[in-house]
Structure 1
């Protein structure tokens, strides 16, 4: 596919880089280390199955679901358009 002044495949490279960045960000946000037996937010016991499935877990499922709903993802524009540079 022709992309104007770009080389062939440059658009797919941008897509691949965006996906790779999102994966890296998600992996870096995952907990590591020893799991907590009780939720650090509400104090409820964290089931053993969850502690084994997610190493380093610190919150129960209910609290984690609430935290995930509050998370906002801010990306960046790889195309470098003039509008994105002015913000």
Structure 2
């Protein structure tokens, strides 16, 4: 089984936006943090998915963020779409 890699540009973007949206310092947002623990609101999650689509020119169903348990899981999913685009 191949472990999907995380695109560093994707991870940097996610950490930056999650920090802005939740008020959490970037240094406290790690790959293993549960997205629910960040206090991300549903509307912010939907907006974030739209920003990801615009920034990386991919299609991303907003439910993708809710399906991911951790930031790493979500970053891997986004990265697989970016790197496969």
Q: TM-score scaled to structure 2, two decimals? A: 0.26
Which structure has the bigger radius of gyration? 1
More helix by share: 2
